[in-house]
Amino acid sequence: MNSILGIEAALRLMERVVTLMNSMADLATSSSSSRSYATGEVVFGDQGIGTVYGMLQCTLDLTGPQCKSCLGDITRKIVKLFSNISDQAQIGGRIIGVRCNLRFEKKLFFEETNDTIKIDMPNNGLSTVLKIIIFGVPLLVLLVIGLLLRPYIAKKVRESLLQRDLVILKKEVVSKSDSRFLLFSYLKIRSATDNFSQENKIGEGDFGHVYKGRLPHDQDIAVKRLSLNSVQGFREFMNEIKLIASLQHKNLVRLLGCCIKSKERILVYEYMPNGSLEEFIFGPGAKRSWPMECRHIIEGIAEGLLYIHDYAHECIVHKDMKPSNILLDHEMNPKISDFGIARICLSNVTESNTTTAIGTMGYIAPEYCFQNVYSTRSDVFSFGIIVLEIISGKRAVGSYQLSGRSYLLRKYAWQLWREQRCDEFVDHSLGEEYLEVDVMRYIHVALLCVQDSAEDRPSMRDVTTMLSNGNRRLLLPAQPGSYHMNIVTDAEKDL
């Protein structure tokens, strides 16, 4: 390495030494320092000089300003006295004044402390430009290439995730279910629904829209298309498929298959021409028959819940039983649907915990709403509320007046039942085609189902027995407690 310094290099060197000395003078004369001296080092990034070490000090009788003035005087002499250095080996010097002095050398001549000032001097302009060219240009090229390839990479990632999802689906669902469960192509579903046209849209829920479709062999289907930003992610999508793909019962909506493409998540069900129980109860101009429809629907819902609780391959808790999740076929048979948040209840566990209660207010059991604990008896509570809605034509979360007081539906029903005024509770649209003793028994069973404590509620096995055996003696239901919930009016519910 050439150790000869040119005139300009020597001047730049001394200017940097002056910079170091000025920084050390500031430290030595600061109000927090009482030593009147400082040490420091400056690292040079060019010319192979390396590090230059410096030290300065004043006599202890000088004040801070006096010391700084003295050091300033001798520091200004550095360039004049030492700018004629022509060899790196000669770098170094001392200026000794009467009241202050300074020294700089290439060799370390003092003991470094935490107070030693360290300065990194930049390379000269030419070296900086070269570094920008050498390192910056390739990075810029890589950035441009990355931006150009980003759509392609994102597509490949989506395709990879899609293939992973399909593998999971085939392994965990299709291979374990019967041959009637199908993987539909996206083109087939799009064609069946006329490209998801508004004319074919028959409903919407928390997780997306439902469309009516028709397959090539004239089979009507219901297509549940999850919205792209749906809170129901792949886990809930797979959960619904795994839970009901292998279930076969006359009171459960049959899942025909599914479709996965890119971000699309689609479930294909058998089509229910008579819509939902929600529409049946609360639809405009609804006129209902007790023996042919209402009683038949209540008993069918009970049979469906009994099946998933006791007879399915694993005990299943639906967790979101409500009229909009019960569909009606062409013969008005009720079929339970929407198992997106349903959970398996282990055989040796009667209750399970969840971090957050998910469901619909008014149908959620108290222990699930306030303690995040659910069991099969949580579904029993929801069933009881649905029965009260079917009989009364009133919503669970409405506010109803009786003797100058306001009640929620279950307490309103209990008060009228206790006073044997059930005829006031029955919806007038049922007409005169029902036996009061029959309806009163169904209200009685519903009130047992909506007891505050899960332990006080019957199982669905007991419920089906009580509904079918009019001679069985029933326990008296306790008065429902009062717990706070937001009251939603019919107008608000339709928003």
61-75, 218-232, 311-325, 370-384, range with the lowest pLDDT:
218-232
List the CATH number of the domain containing 424: 1.10.510.10
Q: Specify the DSSP element, H or E, that contains 92.
A: strand 92-96
Range 28-42 average pLDDT: 81
Which of 270, 300, 325 finishes a domain?
270
Whether residue 464 has pLDDT greater than 60 = yes
**Contact by Cβ (8 Å): 366, 483:** yes
Structure tokens at 144: 């441009």
- Give the pLDDT score at 352: 55
Q: Are residues 465 and 434 in the same domain?
A: yes
* 61 and 190 belong to one structural domain: no
Among 270, 298, 331, identify where a domain stops. 270
Domain holding 92: CATH number? 3.30.430.20
Is 162 among the domain residues?
Answer: no
Instruction: Say whether pLDDT at 377 is over 70.
Output: yes
Residue 144 lies in a domain: no
- Residues 340 and 245 occupy one common structural domain: no
* Pair (349, 472) in one structural domain: yes
pLDDT tens-digit map of 278-303: 999 998 876 788 878 999 999 999 99
- Provide the pLDDT confidence category of residue 492 given band limits of 50, 70 and 90: very low
- 227 and 312 co-located in one domain: no
Same domain, 37 and 69: yes
pLDDT bracket for residue 353 (50, 70, 90): low
224 in a known ligand binding site: yes
Give the CATH number, domain containing residue 250: 3.30.200.20
Catalytic residue among 120, 320, 423, 494: 320
* pLDDT score, position 173: 63
- At 347, the pLDDT band (50, 70, 90 cuts) reads very low
Q: What's residue 308's pLDDT?
A: 95
In a domain, 357, yes or no: yes
CA 437 vs CA 125, 298, 416, 474: distances in Å: 100, 16, 14, 13
Residue 462 included in any domain: yes
347 and 480 in a common domain? yes
Catalytic: 61? no
Whole-model pTM: value is 0.64
User: Are residue 213 and residue 115 in the same domain, yes or no?
Assistant: no
Q: Rounded mean pLDDT of 40-44?
A: 87
Q: Name 170's Cβ contacts closer than 8 Å, sequence gap at least 6.
A: 183
DSSP run (H or E) holding 370: helix 366-371
Q: Which of 270, 292, 314 is the last residue of a domain?
A: 270
403 pLDDT band (50/70/90 cuts)? confident
Domain of 24, in residue numbers: 7-122
Instruction: Flag whether 139 is in a domain.
Output: no
By three-state DSSP, how is residue 373 classified? strand
Nearest to residue 41, comparing CAs of 122, 140, 126, 107?
107
Write out pLDDT tens, residues 151-183: 877 777 766 766 676 666 666 666 655 557 788
The tally of domains found in the chain comes to 3
In this structure, the answer to whether residues 205 and 115 fall within a common structural domain is no
Q: Encode pLDDT of 410-442 as tens digits.
A: 999 999 999 999 889 999 888 777 788 889 999
Identify the DSSP state of 343.
E
Confirm whether 136 is domain-assigned.
Answer: no
